Amino acid sequence: MSFTGLTSTALPTKAEQTFTGRVARQTATKATGAKTVAAMKGKQCKVAINGFGRIGRNFLRCWHGRANTMLDIVAINDSGGVKQASHLVKYDSVLGTFEADVKIIDDTHISIDGKSIEIVSSRDPLQLPWKALGVDIVIEGTGVFIDTPGASKHLTAGAKKVVITAPAKGDDIPTYVLGVNADQYKNTDKIVSNASCTTNGLAPFVKVLDDRFGIVKGLMTTTHSYTGDQRILDASHRDLRRARAAALNIVPTSTGAAKAVALVLPQLKGKLNGIALRVPTPNVSVVDLVIQTSKKVTADEVNAAFREEAAGKLKGILAVADEPLVSCDFKCSDVSTSIDAALTMVMGDDMLKVVAWYDNEWGYSQRVVDLAELCAANWE
């Protein structure tokens, strides 16, 4: 099997292993994710997770697998309490059983391999005990408090910084994508966004394309696994297509991922757009980008550029897969995006198609950990 620049670790990618092996590796000691963060020094930060859903729980597992992390998870805000929090982090239908010792200590605490974590339950961030717990960074994973008025409630409650695990609303919250613009991070930022999983899956290789060949314009389609925002059976939803049964349909819907690339690559503003097709798979998605390039290109030149970046500046962020793989093979892949080299094609000499896979939960959550590590590394 041939891969280039697959993961942030020195170990083989999880795409090369059985599912059982992938699950077992969730507790293996790992290096810090993105190279951008690895060499930095800063403050050991206390972290609270607000919203213990898919990304919140993936974040915890990713954090648990890190060696020498600068993050210390001290609290989780989950409306289900200790019983639900401990059960759902231990047993996961996508990730499998968490090979860690998860216990309920008392009515307000659980432990992960002996590490005590306080469980609080409040829908109002202003009522959360961040000051009393000495929380430095809040991982905002509810999808609700994604603008300045909402996210700043965590600051009022005593936290020092907020990392939003979704596209932020409003122009006053900076967006960072590891491998793209994280070098522009300022420690004065109190609230930051990690963008969306699809923007993280798209922006790194779009940067390579624009830097090497120039992008005139382009359209993107992400074939995206269904998410908790959809309905199991037909039911009311503000998006009439998402109101239909997620496991029975291909559901066309909107995505701001392509336009959001301009938040981290401003030179591409107005040049990219796209749609999403939600499909009946629980995890792993694939993005199909078609662009017009400024320079004449060949498929071999494009793949060579990806391989060079995957082995260099984008190691741990970008990968290149040369085997004929399918979505399950990218489950629990640590990187943000994996180019399917065999599907790179050129029409004429300036119309280019690139297809890339991404684990929209695990890979994205690794970048959330990386962004929180970046905050800690630059702490003053």
> Does 55 show up as a binding residue in the annotation?
yes
**By C-alpha distance, which of 151, 153, 147, 200 is closest to 169?**
147
Please report the pLDDT score of residue 33 as a whole number. Answer: 54
Mean pLDDT of 342-348: 98
Please report the pLDDT score of residue 78 as a whole number. Answer: 95
Residue 20 has pLDDT above 90, yes or no: no
Please report the pLDDT score of residue 15 as a whole number. Answer: 38
Euclidean distance between CA atoms 267 and 159, whole angstroms: 34
> If pLDDT is split at 50, 70 and 90, which confidence band does 36 have?
very low
Average pLDDT of the chain is 91
CATH number of 41-173: 3.40.50.720
**By C-alpha distance, which of 261, 258, 259, 241 is closest to 250?**
241
> Does 255 show up as a binding residue in the annotation?
yes
**By C-alpha distance, which of 143, 172, 354 is closest to 263?**
172
Q: What are the boundaries of each domain within the chain?
A: 41-173, 198-360
Residue 38 has pLDDT above 80, yes or no: no
> Does 156 show up as a binding residue in the annotation?
no
Please report the pLDDT score of residue 294 as a whole number. Answer: 98
**Sign of the torsion angle spanned by Cα atoms 22, 315, 166, 284:** negative
pLDDT tens profile 164-218: 999 999 999 999 999 999 999 999 999 999 999 999 999 999 999 999 999 999 9
Residue 98 has pLDDT above 90, yes or no: yes
Report residue 348 as tokens. Answer: 């004429």
**Sign of the torsion angle spanned by Cα atoms 203, 209, 210, 216:** negative
Residues 23, 97 contacting (CB under 8 angstroms): yes
pLDDT tens profile 318-342: 999 999 999 999 999 999 999 999 9
**By C-alpha distance, which of 96, 157, 167 is closest to 127?**
157
Please report the pLDDT score of residue 24 as a whole number. Answer: 42
Euclidean distance between CA atoms 32 and 104, whole angstroms: 28
The CA dihedral of 358, 65, 25, 52, to the nearest 10 degrees, is -60
Domains 41-173 and 198-360 alike in fold = no
Domain 198-360 has CATH 3.30.360.10: yes
> If pLDDT is split at 50, 70 and 90, which confidence band does 34 have?
low
Euclidean distance between CA atoms 141 and 196, whole angstroms: 12
Mean pLDDT of 240-258: 95
Report residue 274 as tokens. Answer: 């796209």
Mean pLDDT of 239-244: 95
Residue 32 has pLDDT above 90, yes or no: no
- The percentage of the chain sitting over the pLDDT mark of 90, rounded to a whole number, equals 87
> Does 187 show up as a binding residue in the annotation?
no
Q: Which residues contact 370 (CB under 8 A, 6 or more apart)?
A: 32, 33, 34, 36, 37, 178, 182
**By C-alpha distance, which of 291, 293, 287 is closest to 336?**
287
Cβ density class 289-319: b for 16+ within 10 Å, e for less: bbbbbeeebebebbbebbbbbbeeebbbbbb
Euclidean distance between CA atoms 18 and 331, whole angstroms: 10
Euclidean distance between CA atoms 361 and 359, whole angstroms: 5
Report residue 347 as tokens. Answer: 């029409």
Going by the DSSP 8-state scheme, the letter that residue 23 receives in this structure is: H
**Sign of the torsion angle spanned by Cα atoms 236, 239, 241, 242:** negative
Q: What are residue 83's phi and psi, to 5 degrees? A: -65, -50
CB atoms within 10 A of CB 80: 13
Residue 22 has pLDDT above 70, yes or no: no
> Does 54 show up as a binding residue in the annotation?
yes
Please report the pLDDT score of residue 42 as a whole number. Answer: 86
Please report the pLDDT score of residue 17 as a whole number. Answer: 41
> Does 198 show up as a binding residue in the annotation?
yes
Residues 50, 165 contacting (CB under 8 angstroms): no
State the pTM of this model: 0.90
Mean pLDDT of 26-38: 45
Starting at the earlier edge strand, list the strands of the sheet with 161-164. Answer: 102-106, 109-112, 115-120, 71-77, 45-50, 137-140, 161-164, 191-193
Q: List residues with catalytic annotation.
A: 197
> If pLDDT is split at 50, 70 and 90, which confidence band does 99 have?
very high
Question: Quick check: helix, strand or coil at residue 15?
Answer: helix
Beta bridge partners of 192: 163
Report residue 240 as tokens. Answer: 């009439």
Please report the pLDDT score of residue 380 as a whole number. Answer: 82
DSSP code per residue over 195-238: --HHHHHHHHHHHHHHHHT-EEEEEEEEEEE--TTSBSSS---S
Please report the pLDDT score of residue 290 as a whole number. Answer: 99
Question: Quick check: helix, strand or coil at residue 138?
Answer: strand
